[in-house]
């Protein structure tokens, strides 16, 4: 991955390094008198500036800086503020400095000049305003400069290119902009991208805190780039409204950030299967051929996607009836083969009287307007249509009535059996040069406080997907909505999965996908995946195979390709690669019980499924900048091959004991080593003590019911795990229809005990076997289930046998009938 280029800002950096210097036009807050305090907050004000500092919980403190002297409407699109708990703060006003103390934080506010510093409960300084610059404004722009220590590493910022550690290499630092942008065929230095999440995590010696800037205007973040010892952020308008979020574990920071901004909804299980897309599969016969090819070739898959060419003249909510004469029948037939269909619906209806979406939108005042008050129009896909080409108009998703209207338009598609909706081009992309979006003075309702596009731009995609999500929820209240969006903003994880747009079919892009997706996960977006195979240009057979292998560990796994590129289907690269690609997708399906369990955790806690190494091992400095390996959940460490033509791959395993996923062999951690690889290789390691939940290969998630649950138990003296299940499809889980089971193992000299506690919760899966594999156990003298000896079965007869145990592949495998009551297995040595 190329090192980020350093701009020639040396002169500016030198200027900023001078004590007291601030770029021309910036007015830093000088002294600011106290103007009041409450049980949990301090307010400071003079005629030009108002600042408040408020403890929202023991670990979360909100700072608002209004450069106008008074605070604006307190309204947030991102923050939902659930389960924060009481702050229980002690506020101590003083003559030259005041303090807010909670059980986790001490916040010192000094008045002259006005600066804020955050300390942990033990008195360690976590974060402080730069004494020279502090908070400042220049016209409508607001900014804060904070101290950045040499030993701090920085993560997050949502969908970004470059390394996971945003200090960059050798403290080179990154400068990022938040301004949602359609970036076709981007590379690993492209910025900004499609999604804006103004949130980051700072970690020092394994202890972390986070900062979320709740501001939707164009914002920029400078991580030690302008000056190595400074981190600054600010926006082109609005308040400097930020939340300081204490850890100290980085998982605590992510959990608290997602308590503030919300978590992903639990996806339907089918959405965790394999998705096949291209721009575009048409006509109907080609879609049907695609479906039957998956089943004939026995490559598992759940979802087929229809890109823009299924529509009439690229008009949202229409079908090209020449290409798709009977979409309802086609979708029903595909459903019978175990497929779901997702359709693209972009937010740019054509300006065409007589087209109902246009007519209704005009009648309802639903489209955004120019500064002069006329409906704004601009070219997007419909302007490229062969017939009836025209400009588009754009719904104002900041208006509740418009979100409601647009969401309701999905009714006909759902009635036809469409399973999920794909929202694209919602940065919004508008082909007007040079900005490639709406002009900055376009007007938006902004929930009753009209504003212009500068403030709304970064929200457009999030509110588009919100309107879709809420529409789907209303129209089909008992089905879990599935929405994929290209553009979004902080908090958008509540409504839609995200894919990082138009990546490129090259090795850099594959390599980049890991830090980008992990950065999204750290920033609340736990349901993410990049286009497998790369969108722009053709993929080589080797690249495609490596991408599908890596894609197993993306929460969202979809192959996609641009119109001009060759097919990117698992069988598009010859028989040898077809076999390897099939095996990769099969592994995804074998792991689905585990994947679903980890996604449920993400929906409940915010901790992403795809985790950077440091999230699991924050004290281990080797993990801080490792971004070519990942954890899926807490126990599976994947080191997919990300380079061309290699015969080995470097792996780092943190201290402790590990097991090779494929052979079960123990592997010592605390070291870096090379593993030999061939095209079939996908190095995966399992943490000692893990319980990994699997199933036999199925062709789609509809075949999961009744499959045995395969529980692989990796040795440790003692360990515990829990496993979540529900019907995988409906909202019944939200009413408590789920099941959780706790597992434990205990090893003594002569025996191993494995316990499955009684199932908690009312959900019951279809009748099935429960098959435990005690990895590396070799053999046993006796195996007992609840004290009753089980029959020993020959390995070759085991799969067909009922209850019993066998010794095979270096492990002891035990099969019992699943039942909700507690179960104890004793494996006597
Ligand atoms: C955009 C999307 C891409 C899609 C294409 C046509 O480029 O990012 O995924 O295939 O538009 O709809």
Tokens describing residue 346: 């972009």
* DSSP assignment string, 630-671: EEETTTEEE----STT-SEEEEEE-SSEEEETTT--EEE-SE
Using CA of residue 46, residue 50, residue 56, residue 58, what is the dihedral sign?
A: negative
pTM: 0.96
Interatomic CA distance for residues 608 and 523, integer angstroms: 9
- Number of residues written out for the chain: 829
pLDDT at position 9 is 38
Interatomic CA distance for residues 320 and 382, integer angstroms: 13
pLDDT at position 170 is 74
| Intervals of the chain under pLDDT 70 | 1-23, 82-83
- pLDDT tens track for 125-176: 999 999 999 999 999 999 999 999 999 999 999 999 999 999 987 778 999 9
Cα 427 to chain centroid, rounded: 18
* Alpha carbon of 536 to ligand 1 centroid (Å): 10
Catalytic, 302? Answer no
pLDDT at position 8 is 37
Atom of ligand 1 nearest to the CA of 502: 8
Q: How far is CA 358 from CA 314, 383, 389, 412, 444, in A?
A: 13, 15, 14, 16, 18
pLDDT at position 3 is 38
Selected catalytic residue, list 191, 214, 502, 627:
502
User: Which of 502, 556, 565, 568 to mutate to test ligand 1, by most ligand atoms within 8 A of the CB atom?
Assistant: 502
pLDDT at position 192 is 98
Catalytic, 128? Answer no
Between CA 133 and CA 17, with CA 135 as vertex, the angle to 5 degrees is 20
On the CB side of 86, CA atoms within 13 Å amount to 4
Q: Does ligand 1 lie within 6 Å of residue 344's CB atom?
A: yes
Selected catalytic residue, list 141, 165, 346, 424:
424
* Alpha carbon of 279 to ligand 1 centroid (Å): 7
Q: Is the Cβ–Cβ distance between 223 and 147 less than 8 Å?
A: no
Catalytic, 502? Answer yes
Q: Is 552 exposed, middle or buried, given 0-12, 13-18 or 19+ CB atoms closer than 10 A? A: buried
* Alpha carbon of 371 to ligand 1 centroid (Å): 30
Q: Does ligand 1 lie within 6 Å of residue 669's CB atom?
A: no
Selected catalytic residue, list 99, 252, 346, 427:
427
- Atom 10 (ligand 1) nearest CA: 279
User: Which residues, including other chains, have CB under 8 Å from residue 544's CB and lie 6 or more apart?
Assistant: 532, 533, 568, 572, 573, 577, 581
pLDDT at position 615 is 98
pLDDT at position 520 is 98
pLDDT at position 454 is 98
Interatomic CA distance for residues 209 and 197, integer angstroms: 16
* Alpha carbon of 730 to ligand 1 centroid (Å): 29
Atom of ligand 1 nearest to the CA of 277: 10
Tokens describing residue 822: 């507690």
Q: Does ligand 1 lie within 6 Å of residue 226's CB atom?
A: no
Q: Does ligand 1 lie within 6 Å of residue 424's CB atom?
A: yes
Strand ordering across the sheet containing 105-110: 90-92, 97-101, 105-110, 115-120, 125-128
User: Which residues, including other chains, have CB under 8 Å from residue 422's CB and lie 6 or more apart?
Assistant: 305, 342, 343, 344, 345, 483, 484, 485
How many other C-beta atoms can be found within 10 angstroms of the C-beta atom of residue 744?
18
Interatomic CA distance for residues 473 and 399, integer angstroms: 18
- Atom 5 (ligand 1) nearest CA: 279
- pLDDT tens track for 184-240: 999 999 999 999 999 999 999 999 999 999 999 999 999 999 999 999 999 999 999
Helix and strand numbers, DSSP H then E, in the chain: 15, 50
Q: Does ligand 1 lie within 6 Å of residue 129's CB atom?
A: no
């Amino acid at each position: 991955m190329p090192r980020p280029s350093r701009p020639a800002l040396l002169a500016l950096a030198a200027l900023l390094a001078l004590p007291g210097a601030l770029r021309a036009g910036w007015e830093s807050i000088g002294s600011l008198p106290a103007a009041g305090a409450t049980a949990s907050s301090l307010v400071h004000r003079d005629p030009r500036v108002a600042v408040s500092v408020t403890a929202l919980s023991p670990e979360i403190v909100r700072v608002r800086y209004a450069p106008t002297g008074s605070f604006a409407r307190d309204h947030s699109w991102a923050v939902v503020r659930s389960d924060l708990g009481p702050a229980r703060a002690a506020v101590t006003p003083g003559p030259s400095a005041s303090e807010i103390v909670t059980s986790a934080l001490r916040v010192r506010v000094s008045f002259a000049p006005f600066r804020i510093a955050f300390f942990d409960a033990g008195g360690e300084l976590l974060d402080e305003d730069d004494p020279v610059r502090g908070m400042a404004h220049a016209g409508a722009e607001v900014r804060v400069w904070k101290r950045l220590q040499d030993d701090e590493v920085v993560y997050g910022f949502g969908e970004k290119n470059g390394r996971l550690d945003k200090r960059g290499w050798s403290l080179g630092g990154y400068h990022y902009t938040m301004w949602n942008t359609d970036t076709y065929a981007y590379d690993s230095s492209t910025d900004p991208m499609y999604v804006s999440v103004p949130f980051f995590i700072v970690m020092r010696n394994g202890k972390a805190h986070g900062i979320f800037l709740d501001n939707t205007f164009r914002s920029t973040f400078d991580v030690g780039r302008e000056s190595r010892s400074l981190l600054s952020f600010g926006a082109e308008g609005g308040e400097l409204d930020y939340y300081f979020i204490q850890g100290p574990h980085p998982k605590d920071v992510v959990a608290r950030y997602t308590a503030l901004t919300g978590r992903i909804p639990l996806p339907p299980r089918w959405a965790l299967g394999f998705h096949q897309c291209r721009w575009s599969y048409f006509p109907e016969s080609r879609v049907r051929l695609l479906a039957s090819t998956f089943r004939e070739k026995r490559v598992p898959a759940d979802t087929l996607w229809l890109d823009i060419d299924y529509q009439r003249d690229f008009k949202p909510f229409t079908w090209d009836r020449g290409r798709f004469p009977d979409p309802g029948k086609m979708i029903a037939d595909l459903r019978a083969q175990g497929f779901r269909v997702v359709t693209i619906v972009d937010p740019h209806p054509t300006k065409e009287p007589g087209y109902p979406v246009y007519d209704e939108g005009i009648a309802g005042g639903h489209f955004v307007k120019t500064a002069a008050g006329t409906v704004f129009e601009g070219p997007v896909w419909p302007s490229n249509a062969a017939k009836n080409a025209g400009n588009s108009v754009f719904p104002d998703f900041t208006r509740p009535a418009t979100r409601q209207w647009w969401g309701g338009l999905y009714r006909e598609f759902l009635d036809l059996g469409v399973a999920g909706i794909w929202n694209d081009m919602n940065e919004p992309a508008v082909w007007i040069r040079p900005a490639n979006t709406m002009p900055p003075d376009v007007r938006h309702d902004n929930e009753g406080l009209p504003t212009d596009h500068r403030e709304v731009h970064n929200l457009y995609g999030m509110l588009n997907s919100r309107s879709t999500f809420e529409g789907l929820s209303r129209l089909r209240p008992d089905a879990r909505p599935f929405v994929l969006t290209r553009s979004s903003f902080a908090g958008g994880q509540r409504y839609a999965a995200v894919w990082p747009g138009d990546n490129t079919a090259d090795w850099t892009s594959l390599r980049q996908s890991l830090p980008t997706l992990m950065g999204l996960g750290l920033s609340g977006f736990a349901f993410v995946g990049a286009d497998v195979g790369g969108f722009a240009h053709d993929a080589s057979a080797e690249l495609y195979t490596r991408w599908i292998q890596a894609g197993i560990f993306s929460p969202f796994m979809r192959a996609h390709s641009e119109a001009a590129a060759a097919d990117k289907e698992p069988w598009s690269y010859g028989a040898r690669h077809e076999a390897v690609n099939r095996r990769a997708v099969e592994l995804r399906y074998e792991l689905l019980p585990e994947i679903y369990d980890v996604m449920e955790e993400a929906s409940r806690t915010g901790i992403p499924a795809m985790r950077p190494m440091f999230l699991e091992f924050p004290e281990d400095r080797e993990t801080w900048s490792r971004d070519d390996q990942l954890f899926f959940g807490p126990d599976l460490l994947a080191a997919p091959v990300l380079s061309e033509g290699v015969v080995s791959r470097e792996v780092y395993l943190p201290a402790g004991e590990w097991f090779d996923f494929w052979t079960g062999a123990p592997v010592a951690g605390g070291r870096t080593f090379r593993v030999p690889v061939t095209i079939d290789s996908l190095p995966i390691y399992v943490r000692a003590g893990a319980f990994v939940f699997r199933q036999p290969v199925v062709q789609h998630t509809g075949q999961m019911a009744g499959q045995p649950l395969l529980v692989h138990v990796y040795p440790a003296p003692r360990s515990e795990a829990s496993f979540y299940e529900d019907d995988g499809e409906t909202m019944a889980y939200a009413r408590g229809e789920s099941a959780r089971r706790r597992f434990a193992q205990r090893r003594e000299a002569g025996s191993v005990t494995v316990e499955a506690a009684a199932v908690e919760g009312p959900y019951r899966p279809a009748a099935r076997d429960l098959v435990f594999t005690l990895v590396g156990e070799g053999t046993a003298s006796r195996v007992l289930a609840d004290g009753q000896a089980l029959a020993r079965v020959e390995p070759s007869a085991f799969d067909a046998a009922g209850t019993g145990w066998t010794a095979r592949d270096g492990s002891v495998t035990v099969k019992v009938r699943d039942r909700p009551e507690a179960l104890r297995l004793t494996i006597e040595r």
